[in-house]
Amino acid sequence: MRVKMIRSLSEERPASIQDLHESQVFISTGTEYEVHALVVFEGGVHFQVVDDLPMINWYPMWYFEVVDPTIPDDWICNLFDDVLQMVLGPDFVARDEASYNSMVELEWDATDKFWARLKARSASEDDKSLL
């Protein structure tokens, strides 16, 4: 899944994301980002991307438009009946609430799996481009 940032940081944001200060947003208008997981949290959809720093971060869907809705074949979906309502992503993110929290907290094991998966996917894409 790929998204493109379409809204300026200076645009009036919905109340649900007002607490996200511009100094905490490291994405650029017009730039495309690969989505590594998707979460519905407190009724809002957030995308996990590697931002411009590059760091693993979660950003509200409000900033983006979807340019490629194709989801990777290793993603799973898990539903919850709480503030966290749904997680869609690789098993190490979406398996359960603890897995999601490990990724949000950027715990070593979760981030190690994240970067290993990204590296493997990049190598696979490079192999496909040679065909």
pLDDT in tens, 85-121: 999 999 999 999 999 999 999 999 999 999 999 999 8
What is residue 24's predicted lDDT score, i.e. its pLDDT? 79
**Residues 73-83 pLDDT 10s:** 999 999 999 89
3: nearest Cα among 56, 71, 55: 71
Mean local confidence (pLDDT), 7-24: 75
What is residue 77's predicted lDDT score, i.e. its pLDDT? 98
What is residue 131's predicted lDDT score, i.e. its pLDDT? 52
The residue segments making up the domain with residue 67 are 2-130
What is residue 129's predicted lDDT score, i.e. its pLDDT? 55
What is residue 69's predicted lDDT score, i.e. its pLDDT? 98
Please count the structural domains in the chain.
1
Residue whose structure tokens are 């947003």: 25
What is residue 126's predicted lDDT score, i.e. its pLDDT? 64
What is residue 36's predicted lDDT score, i.e. its pLDDT? 98
What is residue 123's predicted lDDT score, i.e. its pLDDT? 87
Are the C-beta atoms of residues 123 and 106 closer than 8 Å to each other? no
Kindly report the number of other CB atoms within 10 A of residue 17's CB atom. Answer: 15
CA quadruple 52, 73, 68, 66: dihedral positive or negative?
A: negative
Mean local confidence (pLDDT), 50-67: 95
% of the chain at pLDDT higher than 90: 75
The mean of the pLDDT values for the chain is 91
Mean local confidence (pLDDT), 31-60: 96
